[in-house]
């Protein structure tokens, strides 16, 4: 079968850089799915993108669908034939609907019943007839934000300026938002021109000749190499922030890296200020010495060639100089700041209209952090540091620097606190209370910072749950999920034996005391426990724990999540042992029959009549203390092994003992034994939910 390449390009006004890669990947996957749905054979699908275009090239696309022979099933034989052996109307109608006659009928038996069948030959359609409907793929793309333009109903990431749909050399007619497909693309906005493509296969080369590198990976590698060359030529270390590289890559079509400089006097500013000014505001790459010291240089990437790079460098230097001049001014102004006065100004910053000001939040967090310190039994010095840190931890929000550079909140708070004579521990906690700032960020390292971080995040989460603002689906405007995950990860990393349920309840009660809660305490607590269990579920899944073991572990109360994680990881390791299946089955038998124990009573040894129940009781009482002692020491491997050693006695019990005997006293006693044993087994969660095959 003959094959051709197919090019589909959507030309747009410049897209936001953060939308480009995902949109390109979407287009690639949707085109693949569309081709398969339409039964069009192909060899490969390459995706391309720049800020002004999304494109795919389908290599080796068949010129037509394959011809196929289909088998169609009709009515049962007894329906297809009349009593005198003639074809019924049902049979005639079935074949007519298939474009065939009754002469084509044959019978096949299915589950003991014969049915009418026919085979029909379906000739494949020409590919160029099908390709015109590919517009539906383009309009199905999803973007974080859309816009409308002119009088069009279509909502899209940016206005569509041109379309190309070439199957080999043939233009496939496609129309979207009154834009009709052609063979003309647009080269670099300033260096290129209109690009008339002869065929789909020449796309990449023709665009490159017009200063557009359409392959995003190739463009990114070009930037990376240019940064490396500049670093080598000047003896610099240019750290490549992958997120920044991704953004810059999606801002240019023909990248050329260059460097500029700034006055060394600005190096007296905190390094974070300089780097933020360069990276976040200007998309520049900071430059460091081989030893790691920040140097008065920057590297930027131009969307163009090497002409007049000195002029471009001077322009970028001028912009950065203005930024750094502002930063220097803000820094000097902030030197005059008095922490206590700054804290008072927090009462003028609204945190949320139903929850109160940032000043209100600080006062709540002081109480919550103190409560948390008591639950953790920290020493007096730590309590004092927590008290001080919690009373001032948001003061930098009213500084000039953080107002101008919001990304530096906490970071500047730490630096200013040190400059104002605060304890290094308190200053560090001011920074750490924001941690983890993202899924990849580290958790607080100091106890004071961790307590403040947990208290601050818990106040936010409980506050929004109290007023009924709960994340649903993809909607989580206040990042409550991320903050809850941060709390869990912090507790785990600190290995704190904290009753999360008790702590959450104490915070909910604080809100209830202030009259902020819209629901009763119990309802809010239930919602929060379910919310945190989902975050713990995600945490365990990310650690590679098998899903059924995760679910079994979530049956445990949120008393000590560090223990829960260790128990889950223990079971996840033990599942690979040869006797795991049989052990879990024995445990499940115990737990299942223990559910029939209506009353919790002690086992009466004198009522244990048979040898097997006597032996199980003897081993249970012998092992129980060992299991509980190991669990208390967080040694869950030993706890599991001790429990698993009961398996032979459990199996012998069930093989020889009738639990539900007619003798009520004996039955109650045997159920009490099962109930006692199941309680110890259940320290690992709901073992009945663990899948064993």
pLDDT (tens digit per residue) in 493-513: 999 999 999 999 999 998 988
Q: Is residue 457 part of a domain?
A: yes
Q: Are 135 and 61 part of one and the same domain? A: yes
Q: Is residue 343 part of a domain?
A: no
Q: Are 422 and 377 part of one and the same domain? A: yes
Is pLDDT larger for residue 601 or for residue 239?
A: 239
Radius of gyration of the chain measured on its C-alpha atoms = 35
**Distant-in-sequence contacts of 630-635, Cβ < 8 A, 24+ apart:** 631/563, 631/683, 634/562, 634/563, 634/566
Supply 560's token pair: 């000590």
Q: Are 531 and 611 part of one and the same domain? A: no
Q: Are 464 and 381 part of one and the same domain? A: yes
Q: Of 173, 208, 243, which residue is a domain's last?
A: 208
Question: Which residues, at least 6 apart from 452, have a Cβ–Cβ distance to it below 8 Å?
Answer: 365, 369, 386, 389, 390, 393, 429, 430, 432, 433, 444
Closest CA to 54 of 196, 255, 197, 214: 214
What's 600's domain CATH number? 1.10.730.10
Q: Is residue 550 part of a domain?
A: no
- Note the pLDDT tens digit of each residue in 590-604: 999 999 988 778 899
- Note the pLDDT tens digit of each residue in 532-555: 999 999 999 999 999 999 999 999
Q: Is residue 348 part of a domain?
A: no
Q: Span 393-402, mean pLDDT?
A: 96
User: What is residue 563's predicted lDDT score, i.e. its pLDDT?
Assistant: 94
Domain count, the chain: 5
User: What is residue 112's predicted lDDT score, i.e. its pLDDT?
Assistant: 87
Q: Is residue 553 part of a domain?
A: no
Angstrom distance (rounded) from CA 415 to CA 282: 24
Three-class SS of residue 115? strand
Q: Are 387 and 473 part of one and the same domain? A: yes
Q: Are 366 and 426 part of one and the same domain? A: yes
pLDDT band at 1 (very low <50, low <70, confident <90, very high): low
Q: Are 114 and 161 part of one and the same domain? A: no
Q: Is residue 674 part of a domain?
A: yes
Three-class SS of residue 683? helix
77, exposed or middle or buried, with CB in 10 Å at 0-12, 13-18, 19+? middle
Q: Are 384 and 414 part of one and the same domain? A: yes
- Note the pLDDT tens digit of each residue in 431-458: 999 999 988 899 999 999 999 999 999 9
Q: Of 280, 303, 334, which residue is a domain's last?
A: 334
Q: Is residue 265 part of a domain?
A: yes
Q: Of 484, 514, 542, which residue is a domain's last?
A: 542
Q: Are 155 and 203 part of one and the same domain? A: yes
Q: Are 229 and 265 part of one and the same domain? A: yes
Angstrom distance (rounded) from CA 415 to CA 428: 9
Domain range enclosing 223? 216-334
What's 147's domain CATH number? 3.30.70
Is the pLDDT at 613 greater than 80? The verdict is yes
What's 511's domain CATH number? 1.10.3210
- Note the pLDDT tens digit of each residue in 401-428: 999 999 999 999 999 999 999 999 999 9
Is the pLDDT at 14 greater than 90? The verdict is yes
Pairing of strands 160-167, 179-182: parallel
Task: Provide the mean pLDDT of the chain.
Answer: 94
- Note the pLDDT tens digit of each residue in 80-118: 999 888 999 999 999 998 888 988 889 998 988 999 898
Q: Are 146 and 37 part of one and the same domain? A: yes
Q: Is residue 622 part of a domain?
A: yes
């Amino acid at each position: 079968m003959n094959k051709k390449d197919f090019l589909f390009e959507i030309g747009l006004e410049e897209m936001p850089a953060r939308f480009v890669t995902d949109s390109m990947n979407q287009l690639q996957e949707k085109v693949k799915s569309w081709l398969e749905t339409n039964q069009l054979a192909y060899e490969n699908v390459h995706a391309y993108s720049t800020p002004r275009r999304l494109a795919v090239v389908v290599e080796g696309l068949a010129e037509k669908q394959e011809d196929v022979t289909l088998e169609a099933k009709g009515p049962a034989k007894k329906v297809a034939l009349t009593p005198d052996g003639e074809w019924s109307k049902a049979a005639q109608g079935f074949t007519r609907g298939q474009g065939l006659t009754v002469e084509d009928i044959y019978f096949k038996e299915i589950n003991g019943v014969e049915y009418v069948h026919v085979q029909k030959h379906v000739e494949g359609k020409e590919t160029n007839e099908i390709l015109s409907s590919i517009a539906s793929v383009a309009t199905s793309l999803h973007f974080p934000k859309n816009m409308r333009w002119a009088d069009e109903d279509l909502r899209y990431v940016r206005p569509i300026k041109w379309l190309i749909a070439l199957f080999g050399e043939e233009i496939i007619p496609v129309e979207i938002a009154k834009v009709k497909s052609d063979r003309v693309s647009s080269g670099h906005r300033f260096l290129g021109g209109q690009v008339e493509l002869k065929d789909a296969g020449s796309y990449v080369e023709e665009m490159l000749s017009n200063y557009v590198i359409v392959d995003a990976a190739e463009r990114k590698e070009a930037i990376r190499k240019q940064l490396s060359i500049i670093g080598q030529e000047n003896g610099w270390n240019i750290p490549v922030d992958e997120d920044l590289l991704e953004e810059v890559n999606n801002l240019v079509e023909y990248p050329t890296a260059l460097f500029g400089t700034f006055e060394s006097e600005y190096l007296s500013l905190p390094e974070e200020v300089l780097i933020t000014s360069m990276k976040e505001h200007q998309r520049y790459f900071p430059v460091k010495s081989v030893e790691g010291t920040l140097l008065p240089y920057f590297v930027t990437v131009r969307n163009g060639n090497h002409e007049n790079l000195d002029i471009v460098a001077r322009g970028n230097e001028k912009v950065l100089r203005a930024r750094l001049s502002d930063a220097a001014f803000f820094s000097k102004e902030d030197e005059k700041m008095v922490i206590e006065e700054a804290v008072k100004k927090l009462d003028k910053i609204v945190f949320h209209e139903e929850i109160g000001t940032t000043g209100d939040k600080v006062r709540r967090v002081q109480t919550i952090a103190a409560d948390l310190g008591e639950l953790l039994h920290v020493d007096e010095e730590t309590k004092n540091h927590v008290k001080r840190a919690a009373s001032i931890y948001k003061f930098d929000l009213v500084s000039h620097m953080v107002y101008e550079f919001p990304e530096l909140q906490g970071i500047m708070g730490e630096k200013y606190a040190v400059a104002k004579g605060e304890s290094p521990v308190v200053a560090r906690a001011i920074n750490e209370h924001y941690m983890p700032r993202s899924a990849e960020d580290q958790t607080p390292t100091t106890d004071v910072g961790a307590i403040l971080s947990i208290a601050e995040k818990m106040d936010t989460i409980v506050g929004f749950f109290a007023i009924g603002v709960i994340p649903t689906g993809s909607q989580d405007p206040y990042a409550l999920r991320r903050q809850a995950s941060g709390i869990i990860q912090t507790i785990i990393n600190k290995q704190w034996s904290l009753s999360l349920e008790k702590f959450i309840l104490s915070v909910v009660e604080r809100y209830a005391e202030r009259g902020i809660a819209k629901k009763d305490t119990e309802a809010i607590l239930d919602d929060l426990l379910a919310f945190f269990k989902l975050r713990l579920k995600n945490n365990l899944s990310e650690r590679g724990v098998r899903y059924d073991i995760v679910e079994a572990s979530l049956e445990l109360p949120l008393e000590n999540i560090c223990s829960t994680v260790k128990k889950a990881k223990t079971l996840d390791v033990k599942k690979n042992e040869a006797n795991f299946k049989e052990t879990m089955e024995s445990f499940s038998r115990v737990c299942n029959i223990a559910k029939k124990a209506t009353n919790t009573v002690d086992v009466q040894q004198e009522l244990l009549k048979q040898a097997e129940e006597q032996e199980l009781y003897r081993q249970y009482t012998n092992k129980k203390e060992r299991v509980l002692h190991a669990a208390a020491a967080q040694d869950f491997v030993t706890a599991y092994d001790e429990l698993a050693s009961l398996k032979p006695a459990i199996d012998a019990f069930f093989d020889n003992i009738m639990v539900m005997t007619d003798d009520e006293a004996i039955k109650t006693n045997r159920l009490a034994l099962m109930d006692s044993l199941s309680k110890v087994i259940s320290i690992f969660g709901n073992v009945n939910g663990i899948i064993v095959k």
